[in-house]
Every structure is written in structure tokens, then in C-alpha cells.
Structure 1
Amino acid sequence: MKTLYPFAIILVVSFFTSSFNNLDKNDVITKKTSADIYKNASEKNEDVVDAEILNDFFRRYSDLKKYQNDVISLYKNRSYGTIWYKNGKITEFGNVLYKKLNSTDKETSKIEFPYKEEINQMFNETSKEKLSKTDSDMLLSAAYIMYANHAIEGKKTISYETLLDSLMTKPTLLEKNNAGVSNQYDKLQIALKKYKKIEQENNWKPITTETPYKDIRPDAKSITVAQIRNRLFVMGDLKNDSKSDVYDQELMDGVMKYKLRNGLKPNYIINEDHIKDLNTPIADKIKTLMINIERAKTVLPQLSKDKEYIMVNVPSFELVYVKNGKIELTSKVFVGSQLTKTTIFNGNIDKVVFSPYWTVPQSIVDNELKSKIAADKNYLADHNMEIVNGQVRQKPGADNSLGLVKFIFPNPDDIYMHDTPAKTLFDFEKRTFSHGCVNVNKAKELAIAMLQDYPEWTEDRINKAMDGTEETTFKLPNKVPIYITYFTSWVNESGEVSFFQDVYDRDSDSNNLISNPSEIASN
């Protein structure tokens, strides 16, 4: 199962501290000679920063020259309109950024901004010297690039444009020192560009198969094999396309890479479902990426605020436990069936219950158990069940349907996460077997990881609590946020794009998520 990496990039507080470097005489002369430029611009549109103004700005503010290309890109993507002003006033995000530039912190020495005094003038209402709106806007843009470049750790490249989009939508993300949410958003944007290029180059050729279909295995020879090879090359799973129609070792490696990144069972067999997936129209792949870009904008900002959390992604059938920006554990899960779908929501885990009882929901009793109990008088005893206060419940034990540990998070649908004795179900590619709860393959390991901060809960004590003899409940002093999400595409740290099954058909109902398809596609 391919691991999700949604949250490893953390925005660390870094502040600007250096003094203002005085301009020399040549700079002053340049400013005077540029007056006509700004006058003409104001007469046309005071909220326009054109190429001539930008070039003149960087001649005068030469210490910011190395940021010129990035700043120009910001304005180019916004049709050269001012970024930090709205209705003649500096925006909320502009004020948040200014607070960061003037904060005192142990990290301050990391950044030196050479024109801090001039930025101070912009926000000082009593200042007699005021910069032009265009100068002010470009100074803040350069400060933003400098801040983002130093403050975001762990990324070799930064998409300043998409990061700015996220922060302008929700400036408080900067206040909370966490803009890592833009990481997945950026990666999905890059993946979108890749797939749009494939579409434009018309490289997505259909894969044909024989009827009836027979699984394709290593050493097979057919035109289908050559077509599969080409598809894997186009998607990047193969570095070269040898055109060979023989299922050789090179193709085996490509098939394995394709399966791993898409959360499929890691073997070399290509079945009919795999061909169907490979034949998904490129336009559908593009739409999937666009839908998930919108999900990243709406879902991940909530998640990014938490230092510790669990994320369950239903389409990939996977759980990730993150603490202090580090992935502590990943696990396969299985989720609700089409008729009993797992709810997509976020909550807080407040209890861990070892060796739990399972109180059987009345719907299951009515629809499944009543007929079995009527047909077999020993059914309850054989399944370690009993009736208490008119309700059927299963006693603790290794065969309990909840396994040996469950994780409680209050919610209207009364679902929870839990262990399961049905471990073989984790071997399936499509894992929609439950009545709505999330069944966790590594439930014991998750409990151990979550209780590391509680010294009384040693591994030995957890093992004893999970022996199936007596129910034991531990109320967490610090609740752990849980996010049950629905991402049908994801990009990992290596840039590999994963596409997962739309198991609940939510993508087909999500076209309204794409607020401006042409804008997303062109970013």
C-alpha cells in the first residue's frame, strides 16, 4: 500500500530582523526619474503593476534583485494587478505578513530583509514619507518571497503562486505558522500539468485485449503487452519504451511501480480490472486531479493545524498517524460497503478501549442475526454472544468482531475505528467490507504509538489489556484529531501520482467542487 505523505512539510516561524540599508545618491536620482512612470501608471489604473514598473523597481531596490523572477511570476499570474491592496487599503494578509516581519523570535537571525524601514513606513499612519502604492506592493511581494523561501523547510522548490493563493484565502494559516497544506495542493497542480501535457500530445492510446480476456503474466507475448508498455512509459513508470510485445523483466518492474503507487496488490499479474484502469480516458484523470485539488484546498487547511492526528483516506484504504510532523505509522484499513458507507468527517478520539465488548447494532440484529438465532439455538454461545438488557453483545476475545482494541470518537453515526479478527480481508485490493466502521490492520501498533506519551501504558501493559479477558477503557487526557477523508488522487514526496478507486462514486457528484476549471487547469 502506497504511503500518503500529506503533512511532512511544516512552516516554521522565521522573521526578518536586519536594519534598513540607506540608499545612495544614484538610487535617489533613479527614484526621481521614475516619477513619470508611476504617474502614467496611476492615470491608467492605480492597481496595475506593469513590466516596466517592475523592472524599474528592481533597478532601484537592487538588494532584492535575486527575487525579481519570482516576484514577476506573482504579478504575471494575477494579470499584473496589485496583490496587497484591496479598495485602496492593505489586505488582511498584508497586515499578517507585516506582523511576522516585525516579530521577535529566536529564529529571527535567519532572515535579513534590506528594506525593513520602508515597509515600516507603509504601516505607520503618522509617517510623513509614504511610498507609492506600486512600490509598497512590490516591496511586500519581495518580502513574501523571502519569507516563504526561508520559512518553509524540507522543500527543494516552492510554488510561491499556489502558496500565496492558499494564504490569501486564509491568512491565519501564516499566523499559525503552518502552510504545509499548500504542499499537496502544489503537487496536485504539477500532476495536473503533466496529465494535460499528455492529453495535448495525444499520447494516451487505447489498450486492446482479446475476448475472452485472460490474465497477462510474465513472458506473455501480444500486442496488448506492447500497448501496456507504452502506457506505463507515458505515465512515467518506465523510463523507456522498447516497443517490445514480450512481458519481460523491464515491464515487470514498470508494472510493479504502477501497482505500488496506486495501492494495488503487488504482483505481476495484469487482470481485466487493471486494463480497465489503464484505459481510463485521460480527460477523466484530469478531472479527478482537479476535483482533488479542490478537496486539498478545503480539507487540508483544517488538518494542518494539528501537531498530532490520524488521517484515514477511504479510496486508498489507508490510515496514517502523524505526530510533530512525522509519520509514526501507516496501516491498511477496510471501510464501509456501498450500502453502509463510512462517513467522511473529522472528529476527536477521546478513548481507547482494550478487549472490548461489541454491542451489536439493532439493524444488524434485525437484518442478519434474528434468522440465524432462530435457526440455531446455540448460535449465541458459539459466537461468544449474550443478551444483556434486551441487546445482543459479543464478549471480549480474539474472535470478537472488534478485535482486541477500539478507538472511540463521538459522532452522530456511531462509527469508530477498531481491530478485527478478519485479517485476510486486508489482502484484497478493494476493501469495502464493514458496516461503516474503520477496521485497522495494525490496530495494536497504533495503540502503542498513540500511548507513547503515557508512561503507565507500557507495551507489556497494552499486551495484557489486549488478552481478551476483560474490557479496559483509557480516556485520553489529550484527544487525538481524526480525519476521515476522500482523496481519489494523491502525490507522494517523490512526485509519483496515485489514483485510487472512487468506491463511493463521490467524484461523479463533485463536479461542483471545481469552481473554475479553466483557472485550475492553467495554473
Structure 2
Amino acid sequence: MAISFFAFSFRPYSDKTESKKAFINNKYVSALTIDAASLNAFFKKYPKLKKYQKDVEDLYKNKQYKSIWYDDNKITEFAALLYQKVNVLKDQGIDNKMPYKEVIDQAFNESDNIEPPQLDTELLLTSMYIFYASNVYSGVDAATLKKIGWYLPAKSISYAKILDSLIVDTNRLNEDDNLLFSQYYKLKDALKKYRKIETDGLWKKITIDSANFKDLRPDDTAVAIKQIRERLFIIGDLKRDSKSNVYDEELMAAVWNYKKRYNLKINYAITRDHINQMNEPISKSIKTIMLNMERCRWIPTNLSKASEYVMVNIPSFRMFYVKNGQYAFVSDIFVGNRLSETVIFSGTMDRIVFSPYWYVPQSIIQNELKSQIARDKNYLAENNMEWNGGRVRQKPGPKNSLGLVKFMFPNPNDIYMHDTPAKSLFDFENRTFSHGCINVKEAKNLALTILKDDPDWPADKIDKAMSGEKETTCMLKHKIPVYIGYFTAWVQDNGEINFFPDVYSRDESLDKLLYSDSVTMN
């Protein structure tokens, strides 16, 4: 967004201020006294900014206690641009308000007869910068992330380095993949689109006869079909609105695309549940986008720049193997149930195990297996299981609970990705079935793709290793980062936004965290 500086009339230096003048390079500049005493006095005067004091002090120490926001006795254009950004913080999906914003407004409003002292303005603008950078570039602090169970690598930022980079190139305030995960900016565009739909009053309720409703299918005629057509046009699944109340081929393609974006079972039937979903207020979609923008703030920007990595998104029930910036492989997955939620963390895949044994976790032995054995003495033999050193393990084979291959990335949660014999479970929309591990539908093809360039593991050797006869381990020559994340909204490269179910109610928890007084910002 382009910002016009002509909208501002900067207040010149006034003899009424407590500052002195110094003549440097043929121009007068303000010689502000910024030291420990003035900083302490400032934060005593503006106690709501106290939490920023250490960061402000560190910033001035880095700047040799020189003014950051004044040039030739005027507030700099960069300060004006930052001020504009704080004025439209809502565009960043943030509802927080800068403390003492009304005092800062006075420094930029020529018509205001009240002018804060120059030193106050200087330190207020520095606090405003910390407020902006902490809200936009980092979000909640590392301790809070651990508290809410987000164990992906913590993002670390330097306010001094960011400030230097922004002053050199103010365009970085608009977009910078070195400051924010690229997905953030895509969600920001989606937020703008959905807010405009809300503002324009285009999100209209779809009406149905609740008592006599039946699923809508191709060639059906109904008032609701015309309303659905309008909705799908508004959100972009339909390129034009013919205003027809007939379920035609054009609408079929739009329904198909809508279901794909919402991770629904792909078919042409429009059920009561689908219409109820469409009738959810647009404010819910807006809030979902905002929450996922916040998650993007936590992601280190170098994550997506790695030459090779695996990303799992729990709510979408999909995993992605990325190589050289491209999706080399994508597969459906199912994840942990509500009692055994898949943990959000990262690891490093170091080996692939073909025809694996499954060592049954003690929790499953205690809670499930012992009762099965008590009812049926032959239960272990019938399920290809055996005792091994005081533990129960299932021998390799096509019925093994891990299938014919597993992908190991050592972690204290004992979570890994693996094949499964229960292929029918992938037919469900909501796939939370496991005890925490990630079950991969196309596990063999994932192994083939990962080992594609390894001459020691040609396809025929992999086939033999996956015969189910004996466990065989392949140590990877290049370890692969694995990231298990949680995003309920994700924008594709083509600009289409996908929404996924909040399977672990983490949106609800994050919403309460962000919009309560207890949230801690960096």
C-alpha cells in the first residue's frame, strides 16, 4: 500500500522544548538528552509502556543514545510511515491498541494545539516501534508458545536489526519474506478480501425449508441454489453469477472447488450440513484468518527456504514433501484422536524402516491389550504379535499396524510417520484416529520419492524391503527436517484460501489467549 507523506505537516523544532540545538553539517538538529535518567522518568510518566522499557533501552544503547525519529528538527518520513502502519494495524489482523496513542497523534496533527515535549515524542515513537514490531513480527512470546503446546522452532528477532533494515528500505514495512513467513502475506490479502465482503454486506444467508429439505443435486431447481450460486461467486469459486436457480454444470464445478477448499468429501451433493457451514457468519472466517496470521508470526522465515523438508498440517490431514521449493510429493494422512493428539513440534528424519516391527506402547498394553488377551488366549498369535524382552511387538507383515514402512525422526513424543493397513479410514473427512502418530496414505510413494536420487536404493530394492518378511533400515544420507504444524486457514499459490476443521479446538484456545489481558507480547 502506497503512503503519501503529503498528508502530514511535521511540527518543526520549537524553542519551548527542553532540547538544545547543535549545528552539524550546515543544519540544525535537536540534541536530545537520552540517558538512564530520562528513560526512567519517561516510563514513570507513561506506566502502560513499562513492559517495553528494556527493549527501548537496548535500542538506544545500540544507537549510542542518539535520536532515532528526528532529522533537521522534524519527525522523519519513516516515523510518519510507521505511524500510518500503526493506524491501520487492523490490516495486519491485529486488534491491539497502542497505549497513549492519543498523545502520539498530537505529534502528527498540526491542527492540535497541544504538542508533547520533543523528548516524550522521541521515546513514544520508539515505544510505538517496539509495540508494532512485537505485534506484527513476533506475536506471543516463546514461553507462551510452549504453554499452548506449540513446539516448532521459536522465532528470534532483533528489534535493532529490523529497525535498521526498515530505515534503509521502507518498502519492507509492506512486505518482507525475511521478516515474516511468506504465507502471512497471502493470508493478509485474504483478510482484506473477506473484510470487504463483510463491509459491502454481500454475505447473505442461504434460506432452506428445514422441515422438507432434501440434498440438492445436479439438475435440481430451488431458490437456495440461486443463493448458493451467488455465495460461490462472491468468494471466488464461480467466475460469474448467472442468477439461475438450476443446479447446472457451471455450479457443479464451483461446488467441487468449494468442497476442495474446505477439505470436504468431493462430490456434487449439497447437504444441510454444507448449507449450515455456508451460513456461518463471515466474522468467523475473518477470525480464522487472523488466528492463522498470528501462527505465521511464530514461524522462522528460513523454514520455507530449506532445500528439503516435510511439513504436516494436522487440520488439513495432509503432508507435503518439499524439495527445491516445489511440492515433490503430497499425501492424505490421519492423525491422533482427541485423547492422543498429535503434538506440534519439529524433528529430523534420519532413517526409513521397511517392513517394521511395531513395539506396542505400554499405554496401549495397559488400556487395551491386556483386556483383549484376557478374553482370548490366542489374541497375540492371531494378530501376528509376540512377547519380546518384556514388551509386546507385532511382527512385520501387511497387517502390521505400521504397514510396510515407517519414517523416523527421533523425538521425546515417540511420534513418527508410517504406512497403515487401515486404508478405508482415509475415506472419512475428519481423520483423527491414531494414538498420536501420523498415518500416511501413500507411504510407499513417499519412500520412493525421498530415495529417488539414492543409487543404493532403487525401486526394486524398496519393493523387496517392503515385502513384509523382515525389518530393514535405510539410513538417509541427508537428514530431512520435519515440521508438524496446525493451520486452519492456508492460501495456495493461486490465491485460493483453504479452510480446515479446528480438530483440536486450538483456534478457540488461541482466540481466548490473544483477546484476553493475559497475552504476553515480546
**Pair in the same fold by TM > 0.5:** yes
1:30-179 pair list within 5 angstroms = 47=69, 76-77=84-85, 91-93=160-162, 137=167, 140-141=168-169, 145=171, 160-164=172-176, 167=178
1:447-489 CA-partner distances (Å, limit 9, x unpaired): 1222234321111111111110000112224321111100000
Contact map agreement 1:303 1:483 (CA 8 A) in 2 = no
Distance between the aligned counterparts of 2:400 and 2:263, measured in 1? 28
- Which runs of structure 2 are paired with 1:79-478 in the superposition (5 Å)? 91-93=160-162, 137=167, 140-141=168-169, 145=171, 160-164=172-176, 167=178, 182-212=181-211, 213-301=213-301, 303-304=303-304, 306-478=306-478
Unaligned runs of 5+ in 1: 1-34, 56-69, 98-136, 146-159, 171-180, 518-523
Tell me the equivalent position of 1:16. none
Runs of 4+ in 1 over 6 A off after TM superposition: 35-38, 40-43, 52-55, 70-75, 79-82, 85-88
CA contact (8 A) 2:305 2:325 kept: no
Per-residue deviation, 1:238: 1.3
Distance 1:443 1:229, change over 3 A: same
Distance (whole Å) between structure 1 residues aligned to residue 493 and residue 214 of structure 2: 35
Distance 1:187 1:376, change over 3 A: same
Structure 1 residue 300: deviation in Å?
A: 4.8
Q: Deviations over 1:84-128 (max 9, x none)?
A: x9699x94246679xxxxxxxxxxxxxxxxxxxxxxxxxxxxxxx
Measure, in 2, the Cα distance between the counterparts of 1:300 and 1:438.
23
Distance between the aligned counterparts of 1:516 and 1:455, measured in 2? 55
Q: Aligned to 1:196, what secondary structure does the other structure show?
A: helix
Cα deviations by residue, 1:317-366 (Å, 9 ceiling, x for unpaired):
11000122122111110111112111111111122110001111222223
Closer/same/farther in 2, CA of residues 408 and 46 from structure 1, 3 Å limit = closer
Measured against aligned partners, the alpha-carbon deviations of 1:17-64 in whole angstroms (never above 9, x if no partner) come to xxxxxxxxxxxxxxxxxx999859999x972589x9999xxxxxxxxx
Q: Any conservation in 1 of the 2:396–2:470 contact (CA below 8 Å)?
A: yes
CA RMSD for the aligned pairs? Answer: 3.4
Structure 1 contact 38–53 (Cα < 8 Å) conserved = no
Structure 1 residues 250 and 305 mapped into 2: Cα distance closer, same or farther (>3 Å)? closer
Q: Is the contact between residue 162 and residue 182 of structure 1 (CA under 8 Å) also seen in structure 2?
A: no
Q: Using the alignment, how far apart are the partners of 1:427 and 1:319 within structure 2?
A: 16
**Cα contact 2:69–2:79 (8 A) shared by 1:** no
Find the aligned partners of 1:91 and 1:46 in 2 and give their Cα distance. 11
Structure 1 residues 412 and 91 mapped into 2: Cα distance closer, same or farther (>3 Å)? closer
The residue type equivalent to 2:496 in the other structure is E
1:19 counterpart residue number: none
CA gap 1:414/1:192 in 2 versus in 1, 3 angstroms: same
The total of aligned residue pairs comes to 394
User: Quick check: 2:181–2:299 contact (8 Å CA) kept in 1?
Assistant: no
Paired residue for 2:481? 481
Letter in 2 for 1:297: R
1:234 Cα shift?
Answer: 1.5
Query: Which whole-Å CA distance do the structure 2 matches of 1:252 and 1:37 have between them?
Result: 72
Alignment check: 8 A CA contact 2:69 2:76 kept: no
Q: Secondary structure at the match of 2:433?
A: strand
CA–CA distance in structure 1, aligned partners of residues 75 and 343 of structure 2: 52
1:38–1:256 CA distance, 2 compared to 1 (3 A)? farther
1: distance between equivalents of 2:366 and 2:174?
Answer: 52
> AA paired with 1:47?
W
Change in CA separation of 1:460 and 1:38 when aligned onto 2, cut-off 3 Å: farther
For 1:497 and 1:300, locate their aligned partners in 2 and report how far apart those are by CA, in whole Å.
22
Assess if the C-alpha contact under 8 Å between 1:394 and 1:400 holds in 2: yes
Tell me the percent identity: 51
Report if aligned partners of 1:294, 1:514 keep a CA contact under 8 Å in 2. Answer: no
Query: In structure 2, how many angstroms separate the alpha carbons of the residues matched to 1:290 and 1:37?
Result: 49
Task: Normalising by structure 1, report the TM-score.
Answer: 0.68
Note closer, same or farther for the CA distance 1:429–1:48 as it changes in structure 2 (3 Å cut): farther
Tell me, in whole angstroms, the C-alpha distance in 2 between the residues paired with 1:311 and 1:95. 32
| 8 Å contact from structure 1 (residues 386, 394) kept in 2 | yes
**SS, match of residue 319 in structure 2:** strand
Partner of 1:289, secondary structure, is helix
Counterpart of 2:335 in 1: which secondary structure? Answer: strand
Q: Could you say if the C-alpha distance between residues 254 and 42 of structure 1 is closer, same or farther in structure 2, counting changes exceeding 3 Å?
A: farther
